[in-house]
Structure 1
Amino acid sequence: MIQEFRDFIAKGNVIDLAVGIIIGAAFTAIVNSLVSDLINPIIGLFTGGIDFSGWFYVLGDAPEGGYASVEAAQEAGAAVFAVGNFLMAVINFFIVALVVFALVKIVNRIKSAAEKPDDVAPEVHTGPSELDVLIEIRDQLKRD
């Protein structure tokens, strides 16, 4: 069983997967920082700082005057329908997806430019085709 485990771990796919997960975790931190620290403030500037996370409904009985925030309602043990938190999660998902798409597109463009050969050999015509030669032989035979 130990030998089987060693063989499993030593396979290239497992090592590649582990490296991919580690790089993915680091990449996630970079993308999340890009979205929350750079893109969201710009969007907030254009939308007037709208924050949907305060949009919620208390299901059931609520004290007079309601709750100040979602967190306050949840701490009080109320059943909360947090529409705003869900909406912000959806908006953040689309922003992250757009940023990842742009990054992948840039990386693919750089990768394809690096793989392109600098010198493209011109197409060389080596002479008549096989069909041309056969037609010429046929014509010669008809003449003789």
Structure 2
Amino acid sequence: MALFDEFKKFIARGNVLDLAVGVMLGAAFGKIVTSLTENVIMPVIGAIFGTIDFSRFYILLGSIPPELQSKATDYDALKTAGVPMIGYGMFITQVINFLIIGFVLFLLVRSVNKLVESAKKQEAEEAAAAPAAATVDPQLEALKEILEELRKGRGEA
């Protein structure tokens, strides 16, 4: 039972939950970037370079079965049939996905750092301005005046 209680404490800690949320958001973000790459960026690259579909690029490592000779350029059919091949086009697509995700995360971190830097600068300005604008407690001022009058009355001034 103690092991279960310890596990409950571990799961209930904030950083574990934050990590879980981060992983889930990261997976969702990855799907968005994959969709952006496959449905927006790759068609544009294909239009520029002439209907290129990187996912269909492969190097054949074995022979094509006779029944698939008519589908010798169909990557999916060859892959389903178990023909040995290197699908380097998918690798190119994944590298592009990685670069897009990296660039978007760079922009995100850069923006957050600028916001944090701006907030720190504003706090520093407020802290520097605070002592100048600070007012003296009226009771303290009255006590100082009384002390000054007492000194004058004794001749210590």
Indicate the TM-score class for this superposition, using the shorter chain for normalisation. 0.5 to 0.7
C-alpha spacing 1:70/1:36, structure 2 compared with 1 (3 Å): closer
Q: Using the alignment, how far apart are the partners of 2:65 and 2:84 within structure 1?
A: 13
Give 5+ residue unaligned stretches, structure 1. 122-144
Structure with a larger share of its residues in helix: 2
Match of 2:21 in 1: 19
Match of 1:97 in 2: 98
Q: Using the aligned pairs only, state the percent identity.
A: 32
C-alpha spacing 1:70/1:98, structure 2 compared with 1 (3 Å): closer
Q: Give the length in aligned residue pairs.
A: 117
Q: Using the alignment, how far apart are the partners of 1:120 and 1:14 within structure 2?
A: 33
Q: Using the alignment, how far apart are the partners of 1:61 and 1:32 within structure 2?
A: 31
**1:10-89 aligned within 5 A:** 10-52=12-54, 53=56, 55=58, 57=60, 59-60=62-63, 62-63=65-66, 66-68=69-71, 69-75=74-80, 77=81, 79-83=82-86, 86-89=87-90
* Runs of 4+ with >4 A deviation: 118-121
Q: Using the alignment, how far apart are the partners of 1:40 and 1:94 within structure 2?
A: 12
Q: Using the alignment, how far apart are the partners of 2:102 and 2:28 within structure 1?
A: 17
The Cα RMSD (Å) is: 2.6
Partner SS, residue 83 of structure 2? strand
Q: Using the alignment, how far apart are the partners of 2:90 and 2:64 within structure 1?
A: 27
Preserved contact between residue 58 and residue 73 of structure 1 (Cα < 8 Å): no
Preserved contact between residue 32 and residue 96 of structure 1 (Cα < 8 Å): yes
Q: Using the alignment, how far apart are the partners of 2:50 and 2:23 within structure 1?
A: 38
C-alpha spacing 1:80/1:95, structure 2 compared with 1 (3 Å): same
Which of the pair has more CA radius of gyration? 2
C-alpha spacing 1:71/1:40, structure 2 compared with 1 (3 Å): closer
Q: Using the alignment, how far apart are the partners of 1:110 and 1:6 within structure 2?
A: 36
Preserved contact between residue 70 and residue 82 of structure 1 (Cα < 8 Å): no
- The one-letter code matched in structure 2 to 1:44 is G
Larger RCO (CA under 8 A, 6+ residues apart): 1
TM superposition score normalised by structure 1: 0.67
